[in-house]
Amino acid sequence: MTAFVYGPGALGLIVGGVSPNPIDFLSNTIQLGLSNSTHVPNRDDVFIDDVGADDFVDGELSGTGYSRKTLANKTLTYDATNDLVEFDADDVTFTAINAGTMAQATVFQQTGGADNARRLICNIDSGGFPVASNGGDVTLRFSSGGLLQLTV
Amino acid sequence: MAKFKAPLIQRGLLTRVPKLGDPVWWAPKSTIGIVSKVSQVTFEFSSGPQALTSGGKIVPYRYRTAARIEDALWNDDLQRWTIGTGPTPKNVRGQIVLPEPVLVNAQ
């Protein structure tokens, strides 16, 4: 499995996609959660609870030190040299986490409704995953190019 | 540590907002920028060196970035906005000293 952008999520970021409202990366609350191998990401999934048995919510970690994190200081950048649109935010730290083995991180739009209305954006399983938590801190450091890049 | 004054949000009003031409320090990429557009909730700034695009066009700034106004912090010492977390310049007796670049390999 490699990191990828969910197809419906990409459409939402650009024009609105399958839901009535577009995903506004800067203005919406965007969150990041961790899940174990029970979650089998599929780039065609739309919501973090997509009715299946292997959605993000089915494999989401549970335990000491874990909670979904809201991305802070988000930026959207066009890199003219590399023809990239970069989505970036502050690194995310889970303090004293002991909640099982994290297989990937999932970024999604946090709406006011339930998990079956929270739209998936991207799945990240590179850069050190899987990680077995043991009570220490775990920091997800996004690269200098951001957590998500679109090539234009 | 540099002092900064975060924009105050009182009853939906900010005490200071970015305006066109304001200098910006973009901490994650350690670059200096300039505010190029301001909307109600977001603003844009241009930063980085002059760049040659894949289409053969020369643009004055490599990066064009959008961010939320409430995420911009005004730094009194540096007299500029700062966005994101990362190395920040220092005001040394009136001179702005940029942070040292981080070495990838120490050889």
Q: Which residues of A touch B66 (CB under 8 A)?
A: 26, 75-77
The DSSP result for A47-109, as a single string, is BSS-SSSSSHHHHB--SBT---EE--S-EEEEETTTTEEEEE---EEETT-BSSEE-EEEEEE
pLDDT at A48: 95
pLDDT at B93: 80
Residues 6+ apart with CB under 8 A from B71: A72, A73, A74, B83, B84
Chains A and B: how many Cβ contacts under 8 Å? 56
pLDDT at B106: 42
pLDDT at A8: 76
pLDDT at B32: 92
Structure tokens at B36: 């190029």
Query: Which of A9-23, A70-84, B21-35, B69-83 shows the lowest per-residue confidence on average (mean pLDDT)?
Result: A9-23
Q: Which residues of B touch A75 (CB under 8 A)?
A: 26, 28, 65-67, 83-84
B84/A26 CB distance under 8 A: no
pLDDT at B2: 45
Looking at the partner chain, which of B51, B62, B83 has a beta carbon nearest the beta carbon of A75?
Answer: B83
* pLDDT of B68 strictly over 50: yes
| Residue type at position A48 | I
pLDDT at B95: 77
pLDDT, tens digit only, all 152 positions of chain A? 568 888 777 777 776 555 556 888 998 999 999 999 999 999 989 999 998 899 999 999 999 999 999 999 999 999 999 888 899 999 999 999 999 999 999 999 998 789 999 999 999 998 889 999 999 999 999 988 888 888 87
B87 vs A67, which has greater pLDDT?
A67
What beta strand segments (E) does chain B contain? 9-10, 13-14, 23-26, 31-38, 42-47, 51-52, 58-59, 63-68, 73-75, 80-83, 90-92, 95-97
Residue of chain B nearest A141, judged by CA positions: B28
CA A129 to chain centroid, in Å, comes to 14
Interface residues of A toward B, Cβ cutoff 8 Å, are 26-27, 72-81, 83, 88, 90-91, 144
Structure tokens at A10: 């990409």
pLDDT at A9: 78
**A34 close to A114: Cβ distance less than 8 angstroms:** no
pLDDT at B102: 55
* pLDDT of B7 strictly over 80: no
pLDDT at B96: 77
Flag whether the ipTM exceeds 0.90: no
| Residue type at position A146 | G
pLDDT at B13: 55
Residue of chain A nearest B48, judged by CA positions: A79
Task: Round the average pLDDT of chain B to a whole number and report it.
Answer: 81
pLDDT at B98: 79
B12 vs B20, which has greater pLDDT?
B20
- Quote the CA–CA distance of A128 and A140 in Å, as a whole number: 9
- Quote the CA–CA distance of A47 and A41 in Å, as a whole number: 11
Residue range B60-74: average pLDDT? 93
In three-state secondary structure terms, A115 is helix
* pLDDT of B107 strictly over 90: no
B11 vs B64, which has greater pLDDT?
B64
